[in-house]
Structure 1
Amino acid sequence: MAVPLSRLRGWITRMFGPQEPGRAPAPAPERADLESVPEGSTADDLVVPAETGSTAPTAGADVIVDSPANEVEATDTTGPAADAGAPPAVAPGGAPPLSPAYDPVATPGYTAGEVPLARSGTVGMQVAVEHRTTYRYDRPVQLGPQVIRLRPAAHCRTPILSYSLHVGGGEHFINWQQDPVGNHIARLVFPEPVLEFTVTVDLVADMTVINPFDFFVEESAKEFPFVYDAQLEKELAPYLETRGGPGPLLAGWLAEHTPQGLNTLDTLVELNRRVAGAVGYSVRMEPGVQDPEVTLDREIGSCRDSAWLLVHALRNLGIAARFASGYLVQLAPDRQPLEGPPGPTSDFTDLHAWAEAYLPGAGWVGLDATSGLLTGEGHIPLACTAEPASAAPIAGSIEAHEDLHTEFDFANVVTRIHEPPRVTKPYSDEQWERVLDLGRAVDLRLRANDVRLTMGGEPTFVSATDMESAEWNTDADGPTKYGLATALAGRLADRFASGALLRHAQGKWYPGEPLPRWAIGVHWRTDGEPLWNDPALLADPSIPGTASTADAAALAEAIASGLGIDAERLQPAYEDRLDQLMREARLPGGNPPEITDPEEDDARLRDAVGRAALTAELDAAAGQGEPTGWALPLHRADGEDRWRSGRWTLRRGRLILLPGDSPMGFRLPLESLTWLMPLPDPEPSRFASRPPLPSTGPEAGAADPVVQTLLTPPPALLTDGAPPITALCVEVRDGHPRVFLPPVPSADHAVELIGIVEQAAAKVGVPIVIEGYPPPGDDRLRSLSVTPDPGVIEVNIHPSETWDELTERTDGLDDDARRLGLATEKFEIDGLHSGTGGGSHVTLGGRTPADSPFLRRPDLLRSMVTYWQHHPSLSYLFSGRFIGPTSQAPRVDEARHENLYELEIAFSEMDRLSKLGPPPAWQVDRLLRNLLTDLTGNTHRAEFCIDKLYDPGSESGRLGIVELRGFEMPPHPQMSLVQGLLVRALIARLWSDPYAHDLVRWGTELHDKFLLPWWVEHDVRDVVGDLRRSGIRFEAEWLEPFLAFRFPLLGETVVDGVRMELRMAVEPWHVLGEESSGTGTSRYVDSSVERLQLRVDEYVEGRHVVLCEGRPVPMQPTGTPGTYVAGVRYRAWQPWSALHPTIGVHSPLVFDLVDRWSGRSLGGCTYHVVHPGGRSYDTFPVNASEAEARRSGRFEAAGHTPGPIEIPQMRDRSGEYPRTLDLRRAPRA
C-alpha cells in the first residue's frame, strides 16, 4: 500500500521545511571541573570543551569505557556546544536541537556536481567525519577485550564512500564480526599493558537528500492499531518487550497523548512530535539512560532519554521499536531561513540517539524524538539494539587500580570535501570577489569606449511556500498575489526611490481574460526631489479602509480648489440604474420595471423626444441615489500655461458611468460627450532636451514670496463650449478615496498635478490611492512596476548605469522579495528543479534614447545577433524549459528557415548604409524589425526583441532598448548578476571588435547537438575563451552552477571500468494545433517528451556498445579519448493532447553496457521516468530537498539485461539526428 504524500502534508512540512517554534533546549553547561565529577562517571556523562577535554580519575575493575549513545559536545568553536549533536542553543521559544535541514534555502547541496566516484547513484555534498576518542593512563594498564560499535550499520541509507578505523596505543589484535542483530562490531585484544588507548574513525559520506517518507506500508498495517502476523511477531519479540507494561506516568501519558483516528504512519509521526514536545532537551550528567518514568517526571532529558522513552511508548502501543545509536551530521545552511529557528552556524557532527519502529512493508523507520522529525541523510546508524546497553560505542574492561588516573579527550570533526555546484551557494567568497572585480573592470572598459550602456530587467518571483495554488502555477491573479505585490512595491520604493509615488492602475489586457490585469507603478524623480512628500498620505489598497463618500467629496473639492476651479464644476457620477434594471429584466423570475401600456412605449421609442422622456422617466423611477464619485474635466497640452476645464453637457442630464467595476476614470461615457473626438495630443519626443522639473515640496519657494507666487499655478481656463474629454476622478472603493489621474502629455504638468493632489490629501487628512495614467515617459523621471503574470509576480526594474548599481539593485530586490515569502525557484511534480517559470528578460539601452548604444552603433546589434547565432549555448544555458520555434523567445534560426538568408541581406544593407555616414535612428529598426520575430511575425516574441528600440508608430516605443528574452529567472541573485556580467562583457568585447561573420546553417544539428549538456558546456567555454582573448578575464567555472541547474545529474555508475553518467538535457516544447476548450479555441503546448544525455568514459569503440531498451544508443566521440555522449528522447507522460498520443510512457529506461567480445551485458543502470515503486505524487515538492529526493530515488545502478545479448544493428539511426536515440520512433526492419 502506497503512502500518498498529500495525506502527510503537515509532516512533510516539518521534515522538509522550517520547524514550528517549540521549546528551547536547556543551555549547554560549562565544562565540568575535575573535582566535581562523580566518581565512576563515564565518557557519556561528561561535558568538555569543544575539540578536547579531560575527566576525573576513574577507578574500579571491569569499568565500562564508554556507555550507550555517547553524547559529547560538537566541535563548534564559536561557543558552547550542545549535547547529542544539537546545534547551539536558541532563544526561548525556539525549536528542538535539530536544525531545519530541509529549509528551501538552507540545505547546502541539492544539485549534483561532476566528480568520479567509486560508487553508483547520484552525487551530493560529500563530507568527511573524523571521530577520535583517547584514554590516557598514568601508568601501564592491562586492557581487557574491547568492543567497538563505530561502523555504519548495514541498513544505513546515507551512502558511505569510505570508512577507516584506526586503533592506537599499543600492539593489538582486531577481529571484525557481527552481533546477534547484525551490527558491525570490532573486538580488540591487547596482549601488553598500554599507556594510551585511541580509537579514530574516519569516514566519507554522501549527503544526498533522503526522503524519509519514501516507503510503502502493507495493507494489513495501514490503520492503527494493527497486529503483526505470528511469524513476524515471533521474530520481533525482543523489540516488543515492555518489562511488564508501562509505569503509571507512562500509562497516563499514553492515555492522554496517543493520537486518535489517524492511520499508522500519521500516528507514528504525531507520537514522535509529542515526545519531543514533552521532554525538554538538556545535557544530563548522570550515567546511563533514564527510565521513562523518570524522564516523564522530570520533563527533561538527553537524546538517549527521549529515544528510550519513545521506544517504550511504541512498544506499549504494540509497535516493535529499537534503540539506535549513531552519528548526527548537520551542515550549516547556505542562507538562514527568514522564519522559524536558525540552523547551526557551522558544520558539526556528534554521537546521537534515536528510535526506530518496524512497519510491515516499510521495515525500520527512524524517529528522532529529540527534534520530533523522521531521520534523514544526516543520521548515520552505528548500532541498533533492543536495549541501550547493547549499543554502547565502546565497551570493555580494564585492570583495577585504586589510584589509577585516567584522562579522556575526544574530537568530532566534519569537513566538506566535495561541494557540487548548487544554487543556494553558487560561488565561494573568493570567487565572488573576483566576479565583483571583473564587473568593475568591464565598467571601466565600457566607460573608456563611451558605450553608455544601461541594463535593466524583468525578474519574476513565486511563492516560497505555496506550491499548489493556481495563482503560482497558471493563473495571472489570485487571492494573495496582489497583497504581496503591493508590499513588494512599497519595499522597493523605500529602497530605491526618494519621495516615490505608488500608483495602482490597470495593466495589460490579454485575450480570454475578462479585465485588464492590475499593475503597481513606482515613480520618482531623478534629481532627488520628492515626487510625493508624505508616504503616510498613500493608502494600502490591499487592506480595506474606512473612508466614506463624504471624504471623497471633500478631497475632490480640495483638488478643484488647488487648480483654481470652483467646486460647482465637479460633476457627480452615478451608476447606470437603467442598465441595471435592463439586465435584471433579462433574468428569469426577476422583477423588470412595470410598463402600463406597451404599445404607447413602443411608439415613444420610435420618437427622439419620446426616447428622452422615457429615459428621464426610467432614471427618475430608478432613483438618483448616492454618487459613485466626482469627475473634474481636466486637460493641459504641452506648452499651455494653465489647466483647462469645463462642464460636460450630457443628454441624460447627469454623468452616468458605463457598467462595470473598473476604476471610475475608465468608465466615463466618452461617446456621450462629443460627436467628434479631438485629435490626441502629440507625444513629446524623448530625444528633446528638457529643463529641470518644478519643485513640489511643501518648502518649495517658502523663503521667497515672489518664487512662491510663481510656483502657484494660475486658475484653470474654463471652456464650457469645448470642454476636455479627459477628467480627474475621485471616488471611494474598498474604503479608500481613490484619485484617477488623467493622461497628461507633459512630465512638468504631471508633476504639478501630483503635487496639487497631495496638498489636497493633506488638507483633508485622509490617505488616498492614486490610480489612472502614469506620468509620461521622461528622462527626468524613473519608474519600476510590479505586475502579475501567469504563475508569477513580475518586477520591471529600472535600468542601472554601472556594475555597482546593478549589484546593489539585484541584491536589494532579492532581499525584499525573500522577506515577503517570495522565491525564485520551483519544482516539478517529479522533482525536476526549475526557475520561476517566468522570465528574467534583460533590457539594454542608454540613459536616454539618444545615448542608446544600439542607435548610435547599429552594428552592435548585428554583432550580438550573429554572436548568439554562432553560439547556441547562449540561447539554451540560461533559458527556461519552454524553448523552440514556438516558444516566447525563439532563435533567429529556429523559426523560418529562410530567415538567415534574409538576415544576411539586411546585414549587407547595414554595411552599405554605414559607409554613407552616421545612420539615422530609424534605420536599424526598419532593417531588422521584420526579421527578429517569431513564426507569426510577433516582434515581441523573439530572442532579440526590438519593439522598444525605435518604433515607427509611437514615441513611447522609441526608447533605444533591446530586450534579450532568452533568459529565465535564475534561482540565486549571484547567478543573475553573473549572467548580467556575461552580457556586459560581450557588449564590451563586441563594441571594440565588431563581429561581422557569415551566419551558420546549423540545420537539425542545432537541436541534435546543442540540447545536450556536453556540447553546451563545450560551446560556452569557447565564449569564455573568446572573452579572455579580448582581455576580459571571465572564468568558465562561474558558469558551473548554471550547468548543474540546467542539466542536473540523474545518476552515475561504473561498470567494468567504464563510467556511465545520465544527465537531464533540454527538449523543445511545441505548440499544437487549435482545439476547442471550455473557454474557446486553444493551442496546447506539448511538454510530454523529455531528453537526457548519456555520457560514457573509458569507452572502447568496437568492443563496447550501449543499449537503451534493447536499442543501440548512437554514442558519438567528443574529442576527449574514451569519452562519448548521446541523447535519448522518450515520452515522460501521456497527456490526452500531444504529438503522437498513441505512444505510451517509456519507463523504466534500462541502459546496458554490452561487451561485443563476450556478447553479454557487463552491467548498467536504470532510470525510472516515474517512481520505481509505482507511487504517483499528487503534490509538488515543498522545497529543493524533497525535489532532490524524488529525483535521486528514480535512478538505480542496477537492472541490466541478463544472459547473452544479440546486438541489433543500428538501422534506425536517423540521418537528421545522428546523436539522438528517439524511443518514440519505431526501429526500421
Structure 2
Amino acid sequence: MGTMKTTVPAFDQAIRSHDELIKRRDLAIWIGAEPTFTDRASEAPEWLHNALGPTKEARARQMLAQALGQMPGTAILRTLGRQYSKEDRPRWSLGLYRRRDGQAVWSGPPDPLLDSTPIALPAGQLEDFWEQLTQRLGVYGWPALLFAVETYPELRIAFRRDRLPLLANPERDPRLARPSPHGQAIPPQGPCDELAEQGTFLLGIGWPSPEQGLDAVAAPCVELPACPDGEMFQQLLAAIGAAANAAGLPALILTGFPPPVDASVAWTTLTPDPAVVETNMAPAPDVVTFLDETRAWFAAATAAGLAPYRLHYNGQITDSGGGGQLTLGGINPDRSPFLSHPQLLPALLAYFNRHPALSFYFAGDFVGSSSQAPRPDERTTDIFEEMALALALLKRQRNPTPELLWQSLSPFLADPAGNPHRAEINIEKLWNPYLPGRGQLGLVEFRAFRMPSTPERLATLAALLRAIAAMLAQTSDYPEPIHWGRELHDRFALPYYLRADLWEVLDELASAGLGLGQALIAELLDDGYHWLTEVGFGGCRLTIRRGLEFWPLLGDALTQEHGHSRLVDASSTRLEISLRADPDSGTEHQDLADWQLTVNGYRLPLRREDEMDGETRVYGLRYRRFKPWTGLHPTLEAQGPIELLLSHPRQPDALRLTLHEWRPQGGGYDGLPRDLAEAAFRRAERFVTERLETAPTAPPLEPPSTALTPYTFDLRRL
C-alpha cells in the first residue's frame, strides 16, 4: 500500500516543480490513466472476476453523480461501450463530457442517475419535445424531417447540416428505421454510423427497455448519431437541451454513439471490466492537472463504496484487480512526443528492457508472460533477437515515419497469443491502420502498473513516466537491449534488486536535470506493498518481503480471449529474506557472514550485497502455499508453515520465526477484514516469533543443487 511520506503541500509543490522542469524543455507530454475500483467487501462474481453484474452499473452511476457535483455544465452521456468476443452486445459506458475552458456544454434537464422512480409525462409532452427539437435544429440551418418507426427509438429526426435535400420518403430507406446500436453487436471494424458518414444524421427519441439492450430507466432517451466534429456535437447538445427545457421535460437521458473528442474537451468514461469499474480519465496536459482529476475520481469511488484495493481473509493486500494503466501522448496525434521525436519510442523500449524495475516494481501480483502486461523479452529468445534487430535498424533511420515505427515495433509488443492490447508497452493506438477511428492517436499505454492505493501515488508514477520520456526524447542514441534470460525471473523477482535498479533510473533522471525531488522519490520507494514483517535479534534485522511470482496460464491463451479473467495456477509464492545490521538496536552486531539462517532445517545460502550504508544478506524463498482445485503438479501438497531459524556460533540463543498462510491457531476468519487495520493485524498474527534459549547444535541440511538458483531456494524441488 502506498503511504504518503510527506505532507500534502510538500508533495503538491514537488509535482508543480517537476512540471516546470519539463515545461522548460518545450515538451508537451499529456498523461492519461485508467484507475480501477472494486467493492472490496463483496465476493460476488462481478467484483471478483466477471465484467458485468447486477450492481456494477449502479455503483458507476453513484461515482458519476459524485463527480458531476464538481463539474457544473457537464453533459452525461450513456454511450456505446466495448464489446468482446463471446459477448452479444456492447457493454454499458457512462461518461462526462465537458469543455476544458469551463464553459457549459449542457443546460438541459438532468440525467436521473440516482433516481430510478419513473416519471410520468403528460400526454403529448414527448411529441412536443420531438417537434421542438426539429425547430431548434432549423435555427442552425439544419433541415430536418420528423417521422416515426416501429422499432426503438420510435420517434425520429433525420437532418443534414450541408443544406442538401433530405430523402423525401424515409420509409424507402431501411437505414432510417435501423434498430438501436445499444441492442446490436458491434461490427468487427468498430461502431459505424453509415448514415452519418454520408451526411445524414439520425436522432431517436423514446422510452427504452431491457429488450433494446438498455436498462429500463426512469426518463425518456435521446439517441445521438456519430458526429464528425466537436462543434457540431456541442451545437446538437445545445439544441437538445433547449428543446427539452421548452417542452418541460423534468429529466432526459443521452445515449447513442460516443462523442468526437479534441483538445478543447475532456471526455471521461466509467466502464465495466473484470472485477472492477474502470475510469477512463480524460488526458491532462501536466501532472498538476492530472493529480486534481485523480483526487476527484478517487473521492467519487469512495463515495460509491468502492476501493482501489482488496483485502483477503488472511490480511493480504492486493490491488483492485483491474490494474492502473497510464498513457502518454500529445494534445493531438500530430503533436504526440512519440511522433514529433520519432526515436523516443525505440529508446523507450530499450530503456524499459534494461531496467526491469519499471516492469516489476510497481506491478500487481500477476506478472510474467501470461499476465496482462508481459515484457517483449518474456516471449521466446527468437522474438527478443528479432526485436533487438528492429531497434538497431530503426536507429539507422534519421527520421522514421509513424508508419515505420508502428510496423517495426508492433510485432514485438503483444502477448504470446498475439494480443497487442495485453502488452507491457501497448502501441495499438499509436499509428495502427487496422484499428478504425482510434488506432492513429499517437498514444502509448503503459500497463505494468498495479492499481495505486492513493491518487498521490498514481500522480507520482505519471511524473516518473513523463520524466523518462522527456529524458529519452533528447537522445538519438540508446544502448542495445539486454537478454536477461533466467535472471529476469530470478534476480528481478526480489524487491531488493528491483529497488536497486529503480535507484539507477532515479539517478539517471537527476543527471539529466529531471530529478523527481525528495517527496516524489519517497512515494516511489514506499515499501508498504512488499513488506510483510521484520524482527530484531542480536543486533540484526531480519526482514521478510513478498517477491514476485510468475504464475503460468492454464490452457490455451487464445481460448481465454473473451474479456474476462484468465485461469492461472497461483499456488506458488516467493518471499525475499534479508538480514542487515541494526545500528539502533543498542547491541553490538556480529559479522553477518557468520550468521546462519535455515528454512525448514535447510541452510539458506544468503547472498552478500554491499550498499553505501552497509552490507545486506539476501535470498529468495519459493514454495507452494496451497494446493489448487485445478492446476499444475497434482502430487505436490501445500508446504506451509515455513520455519526460519536464525543463529550465530558465538551466541547461545536463537530466533525462530514461523510463517503461516492462515491463522496459526487454526480455524477460519469471521469474514473479510473490515479495514486496513484489521488486515494488518491478521497479517501480523501469521508470523509467530519465538526466542529459543538454546540454539540447535545439529548442523543444517544442505539444499540440493536442483533446488537452488543464483537468487532463490525453491522448496517445491526438495
TM-score, normalized by the shorter chain, greater than 0.5: yes
Q: Which amino acid is 1:1175 matched to?
A: G
Native 8 Å contact 2:609 2:616 kept in 1: yes
Do the aligned partners of residues 898 and 644 (structure 1) sit closer, same or farther apart at CA in structure 2, a change above 3 Å counting?
A: farther
Q: 2:50 & 2:56 partners in 1: Cα distance? A: 10
- Kindly report which structure 2 residues correspond to 1:69-218, keeping only aligned pairs within 5 A, or say none: none
1:721-752 CA distances to partner (integer Å, 9 max, x unpaired)? xxx69553433543310111122334333333
Matched residue SS, 1:499: coil
Native 8 Å contact 1:438 1:1033 kept in 2: no
Q: 1:527 & 1:646 partners in 2: Cα distance? A: 41
Q: In the TM superposition, what is the alpha-carbon distance from 1:1151 to its structure 2 partner?
A: 1.1
Q: Give the structure with higher Rg (CA).
A: 1
Query: Which of 630, 637, 648 is equivalent to 2:154?
Result: 630
In structure 2, the partner of 1:934 is 415
- Kindly report which structure 2 residues correspond to 1:393-412, keeping only aligned pairs within 5 A, or say none: none
Matched residue SS, 2:497: helix
Q: 2:185 & 2:378 partners in 1: Cα distance? A: 47
Query: Which of 1187, 1210, 1229 is equivalent to 2:679?
Result: 1187
Query: Which of 283, 287, 302 is equivalent to 1:803?
Result: 287
Q: In the TM superposition, what is the alpha-carbon distance from 1:856 to its structure 2 partner?
A: 0.7
Do the aligned partners of residues 725 and 450 (structure 1) sit closer, same or farther apart at CA in structure 2, a change above 3 Å counting?
A: closer
Equivalent residues, number: 687
Do the aligned partners of residues 858 and 774 (structure 1) sit closer, same or farther apart at CA in structure 2, a change above 3 Å counting?
A: same
In structure 2, the partner of 1:452 is 28
Q: 2:289 & 2:98 partners in 1: Cα distance? A: 17
Q: In the TM superposition, what is the alpha-carbon distance from 1:682 to its structure 2 partner?
A: 6.1
**Larger helix percent:** 2
Query: Which of 945, 951, 974 is equivalent to 2:426?
Result: 945
In structure 2, the partner of 1:1131 is 624
Q: 1:654 & 1:573 partners in 2: Cα distance? A: 13
Do structure 1's residue 492 and structure 2's residue 67 form an aligned pair?
yes
Do the aligned partners of residues 456 and 642 (structure 1) sit closer, same or farther apart at CA in structure 2, a change above 3 Å counting?
A: farther
Do structure 1's residue 560 and structure 2's residue 51 form an aligned pair?
no
Do the aligned partners of residues 978 and 1083 (structure 1) sit closer, same or farther apart at CA in structure 2, a change above 3 Å counting?
A: closer
Query: Which of 409, 421, 428 is equivalent to 2:6?
Result: 428
Q: 2:253 & 2:58 partners in 1: Cα distance? A: 14
Matched residue SS, 1:1086: coil
Q: In the TM superposition, what is the alpha-carbon distance from 1:1222 to its structure 2 partner?
A: 0.9
Native 8 Å contact 2:89 2:182 kept in 1: no
Matched residue SS, 2:282: strand
Native 8 Å contact 2:328 2:443 kept in 1: yes
Q: 1:1085 & 1:952 partners in 2: Cα distance? A: 33
Do the aligned partners of residues 1202 and 550 (structure 1) sit closer, same or farther apart at CA in structure 2, a change above 3 Å counting?
A: farther
Larger RCO, structure (CA 8 Å, separation 6 or more): 2
Farther-moved stretch of structure 1 (1032-1041 vs 483-492): 1032-1041
Native 8 Å contact 2:90 2:183 kept in 1: no
In structure 1, the partner of 2:148 is 571
Q: 1:460 & 1:467 partners in 2: Cα distance? A: 16
Matched residue SS, 2:364: coil
- Kindly report which structure 2 residues correspond to 1:492-891, keeping only aligned pairs within 5 A, or say none: 492-496=67-71, 499-513=73-87, 515-534=89-108, 536-540=109-113, 543-548=116-121, 550-563=124-137, 569-574=146-151, 629-632=153-156, 634=158, 636=160, 640-641=162-163, 644=166, 647-649=169-171, 664-666=180-182, 728-732=204-208, 733-766=216-249, 767-891=251-375
In structure 1, the partner of 2:550 is 1068
Do the aligned partners of residues 978 and 527 (structure 1) sit closer, same or farther apart at CA in structure 2, a change above 3 Å counting?
A: closer
Do structure 1's residue 1048 and structure 2's residue 531 form an aligned pair?
yes
Q: Which amino acid is 2:397 matched to?
A: L
Matched residue SS, 1:573: coil
Q: In the TM superposition, what is the alpha-carbon distance from 1:512 to its structure 2 partner?
A: 4.1
In structure 1, the partner of 2:388 is 904
Q: 2:184 & 2:609 partners in 1: Cα distance? A: 67
Q: 2:163 & 2:91 partners in 1: Cα distance? A: 36
Do structure 1's residue 439 and structure 2's residue 15 form an aligned pair?
yes
Matched residue SS, 2:120: coil
Do the aligned partners of residues 1016 and 1087 (structure 1) sit closer, same or farther apart at CA in structure 2, a change above 3 Å counting?
A: same
Q: 1:946 & 1:1049 partners in 2: Cα distance? A: 36
Q: 1:832 & 1:1224 partners in 2: Cα distance? A: 22
- Kindly report which structure 2 residues correspond to 1:977-1016, keeping only aligned pairs within 5 A, or say none: 977-993=459-475, 996-1016=478-498
Matched residue SS, 1:1010: helix
Matched residue SS, 2:322: coil
In structure 2, the partner of 1:920 is 401
Q: In the TM superposition, what is the alpha-carbon distance from 1:805 to its structure 2 partner?
A: 1.5
Do the aligned partners of residues 481 and 1035 (structure 1) sit closer, same or farther apart at CA in structure 2, a change above 3 Å counting?
A: same
1:288-330 CA distances to partner (integer Å, 9 max, x unpaired)? xxxxxxxxxxxxxxxxxxxxxxxxxxxxxxxxxxxxxxxxxxx
Do the aligned partners of residues 977 and 477 (structure 1) sit closer, same or farther apart at CA in structure 2, a change above 3 Å counting?
A: same
- Kindly report which structure 2 residues correspond to 1:224-243, keeping only aligned pairs within 5 A, or say none: none
1:1017-1040 CA distances to partner (integer Å, 9 max, x unpaired)? 211112222222223343567455
Query: Which of 472, 480, 486 is equivalent to 2:47?
Result: 472
Matched residue SS, 2:254: strand
In structure 2, the partner of 1:600 is none
1:345-376 CA distances to partner (integer Å, 9 max, x unpaired)? xxxxxxxxxxxxxxxxxxxxxxxxxxxxxxxx
Given the two structures, how large is their TM-score scaled by the length of structure 1?
0.52
Q: CA RMSD in A?
A: 3.5
Given the two structures, how large is their TM-score scaled by the length of structure 2?
0.87
- Kindly report which structure 2 residues correspond to 1:1102-1181, keeping only aligned pairs within 5 A, or say none: 1103-1120=594-611, 1122-1153=615-646, 1162-1177=654-669, 1179-1181=671-673
Do the aligned partners of residues 1036 and 1091 (structure 1) sit closer, same or farther apart at CA in structure 2, a change above 3 Å counting?
A: farther
Matched residue SS, 1:487: helix
Q: 2:321 & 2:629 partners in 1: Cα distance? A: 23
Native 8 Å contact 2:50 2:565 kept in 1: no
Do the aligned partners of residues 992 and 668 (structure 1) sit closer, same or farther apart at CA in structure 2, a change above 3 Å counting?
A: closer
Segments of structure 2 that go 5 or more residues without pairing to the other structure are 209-215, 582-589
Q: 1:1146 & 1:828 partners in 2: Cα distance? A: 20
Do the aligned partners of residues 669 and 1022 (structure 1) sit closer, same or farther apart at CA in structure 2, a change above 3 Å counting?
A: closer
Native 8 Å contact 2:362 2:450 kept in 1: yes
Native 8 Å contact 1:1107 1:1153 kept in 2: yes
Q: 1:849 & 1:1035 partners in 2: Cα distance? A: 31
Segments of structure 1 that go 5 or more residues without pairing to the other structure are 1-421, 575-627, 659-663, 672-676, 684-716, 718-723
Q: In the TM superposition, what is the alpha-carbon distance from 1:786 to its structure 2 partner?
A: 1.2
Q: 1:459 & 1:1178 partners in 2: Cα distance? A: 30
Q: Which amino acid is 1:1196 matched to?
A: V
Q: 2:479 & 2:717 partners in 1: Cα distance? A: 37
Do the aligned partners of residues 648 and 532 (structure 1) sit closer, same or farther apart at CA in structure 2, a change above 3 Å counting?
A: same
Seq. identity, %: 28
Do the aligned partners of residues 1063 and 633 (structure 1) sit closer, same or farther apart at CA in structure 2, a change above 3 Å counting?
A: same
Q: In the TM superposition, what is the alpha-carbon distance from 1:480 to its structure 2 partner?
A: 3.5
1:420-456 CA distances to partner (integer Å, 9 max, x unpaired)? xx74x51222xx5554344333323322322111111
Native 8 Å contact 1:631 1:730 kept in 2: yes
